[in-house]
Amino acid sequence: MKYSITTQHIELSEADLNLLDKKLERIEKYLTPPFHTDVVLRHDTHHRTGITVACTINIKQGKAVFHAERSGESVQKALDEVIDVLKKELQKSRDKHSNN
Q: Where are the domains of the chain?
A: 4-99
4-99 to CATH, choices 3.30.160.100, 3.60.20.10, 3.40.50.720, 3.30.365.10: 3.30.160.100
One-letter identity of residue 37:
T
Q: At 76, give phi and psi (nearest 5°).
A: -60, -45
List the Cα angle 44/25/71 in 5-degree steps: 15
Tens of each residue's pLDDT in the chain, 100 residues:
789 999 998 999 999 999 999 999 989 988 888 999 999 999 877 656 666 899 999 999 989 999 999 999 889 999 999 999 999 999 998 888 777 6
- DSSP string covering 17-66, please? HHHHHHHHHHHHTT--SS-EEEEEEEE-TT-SSS--EEEEEEEEETTEEE
- pLDDT at residue 93, rounded to an integer: 86
- pLDDT at residue 79, rounded to an integer: 94
Task: Tell me the pTM.
Answer: 0.87
For residue 36, count other CB atoms closer than 10 A to its CB.
12
- pLDDT at residue 48, rounded to an integer: 62
